[in-house]
């Protein structure tokens, strides 16, 4: 089950303060839990696989050009937006996932440098301290478009093979993902195969059950640590 809500001119995402005053509702933003439905709603899709990332612990900000004339900046942020953090290279050498160094960090995709992004989606899920998939975790997705329409979705039991995305009739400015911390441990959010696109037509809504609501982030950010008896994944060369 996914928890979902939409709001107009909500508080800006953690990356920056946006929109000094409320704007009238103009955009039509839709959430998708099917990659086929998302692909039908967009045009000129491009995928950023992150497989070129070669470091274990990386920088706080990346500039990406996945092709097709698309470009964006992605930042690792503290959960309250007070400062930058660091990225972490999760997954495997053959399938790299973009993750964070601290469990409560936010991955913030900034599309203000392009006028092409009307759709954004991908595979978003939780990982453990060593960067391996951690089942049963909840992930928060937050999208904001140029008209001030913001949608927040909580994905429960997020899986690395399940696609989620947003498409809007207005340009998408920010897209953020973070892990909802469980009561009995820690989880780090990860992103894989980010898809960007332009809107081909007025999108159809997701068929998933959507409930009004929203959850906050819990706990303190803890750095990834090598567990006793565990061997860290070898960084890419």
Token reading at 166: 């947003």
Residue bearing the bigger pLDDT, 62 or 18: 62
Residue bearing the bigger pLDDT, 229 or 109: 109
Give the model's confidence band at 90: pLDDT under 50 very low, under 70 low, under 90 confident, else very high: very high
The DSSP 8-state label assigned to residue 192 in this structure reads E
pLDDT cut 90: percent of the chain above it: 68
Q: Which of 63-67, 78-82, 207-211 has the lowest mean pLDDT?
A: 207-211
Give φ, ψ of 135 to 5 degrees: -70, 160
pLDDT given for residue 26 in this prediction: 57
Q: Are 144 and 1 in contact (CB under 8 A)?
A: no
Q: Is residue 109 predicted with pLDDT exceeding 60?
A: yes
pLDDT cut 70: percent of the chain above it: 73
Question: Among 215, 33, 43, which Cα is nearest to 122's?
Answer: 33
Residue bearing the bigger pLDDT, 81 or 144: 144
Average pLDDT of every residue of the chain: 81
pLDDT given for residue 27 in this prediction: 64
Q: Is residue 62 predicted with pLDDT exceeding 70?
A: yes
The CATH H-level (homologous superfamily) assignment of domain 2-9+27-211 is: Galactose-binding domain-like (2.60.120.260)
Give the model's confidence band at 18: pLDDT under 50 very low, under 70 low, under 90 confident, else very high: very low
Q: Are 56 and 42 in contact (CB under 8 A)?
A: no
What distance in Å separates the CA atoms of residue 194 and residue 196, rounded to the nearest whole number?
Answer: 7
Task: Decide: helix, strand or coil at residue 133.
Answer: strand
Number of residues assigned to the chain: 237
Task: Decide: helix, strand or coil at residue 117.
Answer: coil
Q: Are 119 and 68 in contact (CB under 8 A)?
A: no
Tens digit of pLDDT for each residue in 36-57?
A: 999 999 999 999 999 999 887 8
Partners of 70 in the β-ladder:
67
Q: What is the dihedral of CA 95, 100, 103, 107, to 10 degrees?
A: -100
* Mean pLDDT to the nearest integer, 218-228: 37
Question: Among 26, 17, 228, 23, which Cα is nearest to 130's?
Answer: 228
Q: Is residue 8 predicted with pLDDT exceeding 90?
A: no
Task: Decide: helix, strand or coil at residue 47.
Answer: strand
pTM of the predicted model as reported, rounded to 2 decimal places: 0.77
Tens digit of pLDDT for each residue in 194-211?
A: 999 998 755 455 433 333
Q: Where are the domains of the chain?
A: 2-9+27-211
């Amino acid at each position: 089950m996914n928890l979902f809500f939409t709001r107009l001119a909500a508080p800006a995402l953690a990356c920056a303060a946006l929109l000094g005053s409320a704007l009238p509702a103009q955009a039509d933003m839709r959430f998708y839990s099917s990659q086929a439905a998302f692909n039908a709603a967009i045009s000129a899709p491009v995928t950023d696989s992150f497989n070129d990332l070669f470091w274990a612990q990386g920088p706080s900000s990346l500039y990406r050009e996945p092709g097709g004339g698309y470009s964006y900046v992605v930042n690792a942020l503290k959960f309250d937006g007070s400062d930058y953090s660091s990225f972490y290279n999760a997954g495997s050498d053959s399938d790299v996932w973009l993750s964070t160094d601290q469990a409560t960090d936010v991955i913030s995709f900034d599309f203000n440098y392009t006028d092409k992004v009307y759709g954004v989606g991908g595979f978003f899920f939780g990982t453990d301290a060593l960067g391996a998939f951690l089942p049963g975790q909840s992930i928060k997705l937050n999208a904001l478009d140029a008209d001030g329409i913001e949608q927040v979705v909580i994905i429960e039991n997020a899986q690395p093979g399940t696609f989620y995305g947003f498409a809007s009739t207005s340009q998408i400015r920010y897209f953020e993902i973070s892990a909802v911390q469980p009561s009995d441990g820690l989880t780090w959010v990860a992103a894989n195969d980010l898809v960007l696109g332009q809107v081909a037509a007025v999108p159809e809504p997701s068929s998933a059950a959507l409930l009004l609501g929203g959850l906050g982030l819990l706990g303190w950010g803890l750095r990834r640590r090598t567990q006793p008896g565990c061997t860290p994944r070898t960084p890419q060369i």
